Chains A and B, each alone.
Chain A
Amino acid sequence: MTILVALAGVAIFLIIQGIPALGADPSDLSGKPNLLAYTAPLVFGTLWAALIAILLATPLALGVALAVSHYAPKGLAVPLGYLVDLLAAVPSVIYGLWGIGFLGPRLVPVYEWLEQHLGWLPFFAGPASTTGRTILTAGIVLAIMILPIITAISREIFTQTPRLNEEAALALGATRWEMIRLSVLPYARSGIVSAVMLGLGRAMGETMAVAMVLSASGVVTFNLISSTNPSTIAANIALTFADATGLKVNALVATGLVLFVITFVVNFAARAIVARADRSVSR
């Protein structure tokens, strides 16, 4: 009940504060002709950065979770689990600093190599950034930030696989990997989906790390390695809010409303997938 009230409160605030932005003129929207043109690149950037993060984090997180739950000896599995959980305890500002000061500069040669050898792909068209503050770097930082969430949830689900199912598979002559494919993964499918969706939510809403790492220009591009990148909604709010006045604030709140709606849609989509998966398992 409290949650519903809080959610409704947030939604009402966003709608009331966001609506005046419909009448905002270009001077309030960084020169974009209307609210839609202002929001669209940000929505693209948000989804694009989150997608990169999810693509990088999911395989790694599932691998770590499986290693902890099924492969590694107990002596190694427990510390490894703790270590990954510890990643969640690092504040996002620290990730931002690390991304600017450590990761970015070290990725510059990688980006230059990608531009030279894979430049025919639109993703690596270049010109490569000289500071490494690209959307790919931001995506990697985001991936590390959401790794503990996905790992922790999938690990818990993997360990809850009924012992009998696993032993039945092994008794039928399955190898360990076949056992995991036959019993653990189907059982854990809905759990994995919710874990990934939680991670996705975090990646889309992450503000500080992206605001610090990303060199944003409000464009729409699939180029991963140039210094001209789309911004994300949350990072854009953080960067522009401090000096915003009048309708500009409303415009920012309106983008916030869009982010709110997107996270809602993502969550509902996750629910739907989980529900369908549950039905097919029980059938």
Chain B
Amino acid sequence: MKMPPNIGRAPRRILVPGITALALGLALSACGAANESSSSGKSDISLDGAGSSAQESAMDAWRSAFQKDNTNVTVNYDPSGSGAGVEKFNAGGIDFAASDSALSQDKGEIDAAKKRCGADAIEVPNYVSPIAVIYNVKGVKDLQLSAKTIALIFDGKITKWNDPAIAAENKGVKLPSTTISPVHRSDESGTTANFTDYLEQAGGWSHPADKVWPIQSGEGANGTSGMVAAVGQGDGSIGYADFSQAGDLSSAKIKVGSAYVAPSAEAAAKALETSPMEDGRPASDLAVKVDRKSTEAGAYPLLLASYLIACPTYDDSKTADTVKSFLSYIVSTAGQQAGADNAGSAPLPASLQQQAAKIVDTISSKG
């Protein structure tokens, strides 16, 4: 097993200079980076935000577009989750928050936000995304399901794809006898909260809406990517995910009124437009009570509406101006279009967009 000496040594002769070169290169590039940041470091205002991870890609698009137009501003966003974002905002640690669910009266979030701001906090919808019911059944392309059937499937009451309940809604489609494997998110997520809310309200589900999947059966997958991968791999799987992330998987049409509607940005925006406002909210709070049972033609009520939360006044006029212009940009038609282009979200319906813009416009500095 002894190698001839020259073979054994050859790699080392290459290796040593190689490592040196690499180290030198690293050191040089580090210097370069250091120089760059010190010469262009003129950003004098920075905004800090945190919250919804669903909004992350849209927020990235908004931040980079906003920073391009306002070179002296840095906007930081920590997608640490809606709950954490609201908590940090109410504790005064950040300038704005983004949350997949409107501030909750029961949890005292509205009062806490009021205390932090010294007045009723601002809450406007800024990100709307349809949630697709994705499935992977060999040979089945155009599945149509009612909320009731979806609820029974995820409850484990319907176990085969050729169940009469599914067949009745899909006349003329040849359904296989494959076992249904319902997939849910194993982590906490706003998508789960909205999906279970839909099942509970429109599908007569007995389990309460929650960020955590409420029943202990079926397959669990971590994150949207895990969900899409799990449904993509298992024949007979069905799951739910942000429509923009569904990829090649087929999405079921869901029953609205007497027709079946496919998920799309427009249909989600329509469902939001026809939904009433949440009761008992201050004027600066635009929380929408999504009408899951909507029978409006062409509306897709299985959607996630996410909110921006900010204060109506800030101590420092610079911060107030920057928050105002950043938030104005997000809820503007241009900002909504940028979100739609980059994250596949649905632009806010016009009426809601104008109301949101009006509310954001009231942000000012104290005194």
Contacts and interface: CB of A to CB of B under 8 A. Distances in A.
B39 interface: no
Nearest to A97: B229
Contacts of B234: 108, 129-131
Contact of A243 (B83, B179, B183, B213): B83
A242 B53 CA distance: 10
Nearest to B100: A243
23 contacts: A75-B1, A129-B219, A130-B237, A131-B237, A133-B219, A133-B230, A215-B186, A215-B219, A215-B230, A216-B186, A217-B216, A227-B181, A227-B218, A227-B220, A228-B218, A228-B219, A231-B186, A240-B212, A243-B187, A243-B188, A244-B81, A245-B86, A245-B87
Contacts of B80: 242-243
Contacts of A132: 233
B217 interface: yes
Interface residues of B, number: 36
Pairs of residues from A and B, 3 with the lowest C-beta to C-beta distance, nearest first: A243-B81, A130-B234, A227-B219
Contacts, number: 98
Interface in B21-75: 53
B266 to A, nearest CB: 30
Contacts of B219: 129-131, 133, 215, 227-228
Contact of A129 (B1, B84, B181, B210): B181
B188 A244 contact: yes
Nearest to B81: A243
Interface string B115-131: 00000000000000000
Contacts of A105: 233
Nearest to A41: B216
A200 interface: no
A217 B220 contact: yes
Contacts of B264: none
Assign chain A's interface to a size class: 20 to 34
B18 interface: no
A100 interface: yes
Interface in B193-248: 210-214, 216-222, 226, 229-230, 233-237
Is chain A's binding surface mostly helix, strand, loop or mixed? Answer: loop
A108 B214 CA distance: 26
A16 B217 CA distance: 34
Given A130-B234, A131-B181, A133-B230, A212 B222 contact: yes
Interface string A121-165: 000000101111100000000000000000000000000000000
A227 B237 CA distance: 11
Nearest to B221: A215
A132 B233 CA distance: 9
Q: Residue among A75, A127, A133, A219 with the most chain B CB within 10 A?
A: A133
A74 B1 contact: yes
Contacts of B220: 214-217, 227
